[in-house]
Structure 1
């Protein structure tokens, strides 16, 4: 591309701007504006540094309700399950979850097991209807993961801590006698997509292939937390270049992780997502390695939280087809 000609007219405009700026600076106006900008930026930076965990992790969206009392469980939805009570991988946090099994041990042993990572708000009891629909319509087992600080899990949520939790639940799946370790997939929606992707990369780098999941399902996840923060809080735009570590302790950078993953991935995107711009899902899909089986499916009328409801049977048909394709790929590889 040819460079634009630096004309006398352009030079005159620049000279005029410079003279005006110099004049304003002499009068103190520009300097006052600069001081105000840096003052506001400093306040934003301090606020983000102190409150970012509270802004990102919302274990109980309704402060008047206790996340640990009056909770429904899979039995209330006529599903068989086991309570999961394990230690986090770092050994300092007691974790809770559910292993939702199919109707018999034999069926459980032959079914795909979904390791499910939910979004940033609420806990696993808020997803029971989704789990029941997935259990029936996709015919899967489900390990419902409750991050530290959520529901009945102890501790305080953080990126490093939740990554430790995810690995602990995956090891639970590997060790369970009813789970076929060749039929484990990771499912993450929103924040859970970043949790699942981070876990998948760790397993890719540290585990033998036969111990890794068969693939991933990522629903309405983001490129990174800073990228979403700027969209939701435009006031952060002037300091967007600073929204990285060490200022941001919770980055969850899918855009750095997903291009490295050697797994088939199903991307599920609601095109009316009001929280994570759908363009971010398209970016993630465009940068992934696109192994056989990888695809993106969009739901034109779905938002951030209602894709399974809006998609209805189509949603579960797509999930079932993806799972079937993973098993077929596994057979061909043997």
Structure 2
């Protein structure tokens, strides 16, 4: 897995911390033009026209055009698994191939929906998708938000909420992806939401609105809310942070996610954009999910049963994914979902 880290690190160090540009604008622009600043899809230059494709990195894929409920075309990437992948590509992990066809194999693997940060486009995150696809042998849907890359429309909080729901609905409706054996309680849903920075806020929001359809979340360097991060990232605008109408209030949405939903939280201790305290506060909310009281009044917590928090000492906002131990933690988390499902199956099939 470490062989993938140089390409991941190269991407991470090249990503612009575009939120900092807010400090150069006036209060009026903060309110009326904040969508252009919060969602800088044109940066780095060329991001709206030059979008890398998975085959540039040796990954087979399918172009996926999704049409949203408000008639916006999203041009995404779908990376479905293949049984012969380890034969045709030596980088791929070797798995048993006892399935009759690729459709059955796809249905046997986890599906990751990726939500990227606010700068660049989804093509810049292909090295990250490659780890999920090659090393963990997951199916991957790389969402391209509206107004990003080659997708139509203009980004906004409401717009990205619609985009993420569209991606989830596609996975749940597909006969292969929806048959995953890891589906809990015999439902037709299995998906892992992976979000970085504002993408983590998108993932948390989607999970809060679909509490019975999301199986797990992986969240990296996400804020409690956008207004609350302004005083740190943009001290000059601290007094007018109330003008930020793009809320992404993750702190209030985590309690809506069931305590049984596994969550992995990955935080960079040297994050220069989102203070590490934001991730710690979100972790506290995760830990309190499902908090109950015994008849005697003593509280006990269930939210920690399937959740984990990791802080990387040298991780900055854009290179935490390149830190030692990051991908091992992610791989262990994904593997644990399969183990838990096997235990549930055995328990449910045991004679009472």
TM-score tier, shorter chain, comes to 0.7 to 0.9
Higher normalized contact order (CA 8 Å, seq sep 6+, divided by chain length): 2
What does 1:77-156 correspond to in 2, within 5 Å?
Answer: 77-88=57-68, 90-104=69-83, 105=102, 106-156=104-154
Match status 1:298 vs 2:311: yes
Quick one: distance in 2 between partners of 1:282 and 1:270? 11
Tell me if structure 2 keeps the 8 A contact 1:293–1:325.
no
Tell me how far 1:44 sits from its aligned partner: 5.0
Q: Following TM superposition, by how much is the alpha carbon of 1:66 offset from its aligned partner in structure 2, in angstroms?
A: 5.0
Residue pair 2:81, 2:139 contacting (<8 A) in 1 also:
yes
Larger radius of gyration: 1
Structure 2 counterpart of 1:257: 253
- The residue that corresponds to 2:159 in the other structure is 161
Count of residue pairs the alignment pairs up: 276
- In the alignment, is the contact (CA less than 8 A) between 2:226 and 2:244 conserved in 1? no
> Tell me, which stretches of 5 or more residues in structure 2 are unaligned?
1-24, 84-101, 184-189, 290-302, 346-352
- Match of 1:61? 43
| Conserved? CA contact 1:137–1:316, under 8 Å | no
Q: What corresponds to 1:200 in structure 2? A: 207
Runs ≥4 residues deviating over 4 A = none
- Structure-1 residue corresponding to 2:230: 229
Q: Give, in whole Å, the separation in 2 of the partners of 1:159 and 1:239.
A: 19
Q: Does 1:307 align with 2:303?
A: no
Task: Report what 1:184 is aligned to.
Answer: 191
Contact 2:145 2:155 in 1 (8 A): yes
SS in 2 for 1:85: strand
Q: Is the Cα–Cα contact under 8 Å of residues 293 and 326 in structure 1 kept in the other structure?
A: no
Q: Aligned equivalents of 1:145 and 1:134: distance in 2?
A: 15
- 2:319 pairs with 1:324: no
Following superposition, the deviation at residue 79 of structure 1 comes to 1.4
Change (3 A) 1:268 1:322: same
TM-score computed with the length of structure 1 as normaliser: 0.78
CA distance in 2, matches of 1:276, 1:310: 17
- Tell me which residue corresponds to 2:271: 273
CA contact (8 A) 2:233 2:272 kept: no
Pick one of 69, 76, 79 that aligns with 2:56: 76
| 2:31 aligned residue | 49
Instruction: Provide Cα deviations, 1:245-279, integer angstroms capped at 9, x if missing partner.
Output: xx433110111111221122100111111111111
Q: What is the CA–CA distance in structure 2 between the aligned matches of 1:138 and 1:297, rounded to whole Å?
A: 20
Give 1:299 shift: 1.1
More helix by proportion, 1 or 2?
A: 1
> What TM-score do you get using the length of structure 2 for normalisation?
0.74
Tell me if structure 2 keeps the 8 A contact 1:218–1:265: yes
SS at match of 1:146: coil
User: What corresponds to 1:218 in structure 2?
Assistant: 219
Note the aligned Cα RMSD (angstroms).
Answer: 1.8
Q: Distance in 1 between the 2:153 and 2:175 partners?
A: 28
Whole-angstrom CA distance in 1 between matches of 2:342 and 2:245 = 41
Q: Aligned partners of 2:105, 2:55: CA distance in 1, in Å?
A: 18
For 2:270 and 2:304, the matched residues in 1 are separated by 27
In structure 1, what is the Cα distance between the partners aligned to 2:267 and 2:332?
Answer: 17
Over 3 Å counting, the alpha-carbon distance change for 1:45 and 1:66 in structure 2 is closer
Structure 1 residues 66 and 224, CA gap change in structure 2 (3 angstroms): closer
Q: Which blocks of at least 5 consecutive residues in structure 1 are unaligned? A: 1-42
